[in-house]
Amino acid sequence: MALYRTEAIVLRTRNLGEADKILTLFTKERGKVSAVARGSRRPRNHLMGVAQPFTHSTFLIFRGKNLDSISQGTIINAWLYLREDLLKMAYASYIVELVDRLTEEYDPSERIYSLLVAVFERLCNDGLETRLVRFFELRFLRLIGLDPQLEHCVGCDTVVTDTGHQLRFSPREGGVLCPDCQRRRTDALSLSLGAYQVMRWLSNADIDRLSVLQMPEAVADEVEETLRNFINFHLQRPLKSLEFLYTIRGTS
């Protein structure tokens, strides 16, 4: 029988018929998969708990001809705080939407799975949300081969790590530009040395050392804006979760 067991995080759910849900899961062994959780919208149904967004569970999944279906599920961590605190929920929604939008089904990556688990585990630490989300973006982009180039100029490959010059960032070309190359581009964003250093630090950071990072608010805003522009360049349409996040924060 085509039955398999896997740990997974629920990225997204959508209703099917009157009582079912289709879950989009990021599994430990198979990458992103979709499976139906039959009856999971009925009160007291045994799949109701595991069919909630962000939930981390072990699933027993039956491989169907057209659609896989979940036969059993056991919660490992429901991460209730991600649903109880609106700001954390907004960040978690952004993270799962980014993974959903930039990964293909059945493209396994245990490292993306582990990154998701590690980031959700730490999202309960107040004050670390912003740097955790930036860390997630940079690490996730690297895992899917889309990380911004920060050490060499994307125009001429000159090393820019120790530059004292004003750098610019090109979302289209995917990295920083040296002063020479900036002159020939009009679409590159200015990037302060502080924001550049934070991005470099975050892209090599250990997730458990994020609290030592000094990041003034203006720098945090600049890093967010730079990565937002870069990520948007790779998406066909805007992320829905960002509207929710901006509403909760009262900013854009």
Q: What's the CA gap between 209 and 135, in Å, rounded?
A: 11
- Adjacency order of strands within the sheet including 189-191: 175-177, 167-170, 189-191
When the beta carbons of 53 and 155 are compared against Zn ion, the nearer one is 155
Lookup: tokens for 89: 């929920």
Give min distance, CB of 153 to Zn ion, in A: 3
Q: What's the CA gap between 95 and 99, in Å, rounded?
A: 6
Give min distance, CB of 178 to Zn ion, in A: 3
When the beta carbons of 80 and 159 are compared against Zn ion, the nearer one is 159
Contact between 86 and Zn ion per CB under 5 A? no
Q: Which of residues 144-203 bind Zn ion (CB under 5 A)?
A: 153, 155-156, 178, 181
Nearest CA to 120 out of 112, 148, 177 is that of 112
Q: Residue with structure tokens 């967004």?
A: 53
Give min distance, CB of 176 to Zn ion, in A: 9
With CB under 5 A as the rule, give the number of residues binding Zn ion: 5
Give min distance, CB of 2 to Zn ion, in A: 53
Q: Residue with structure tokens 């997204």?
A: 12
Can you give the binding site for Zn ion, defined by CB under 5 A? 153, 155-156, 178, 181
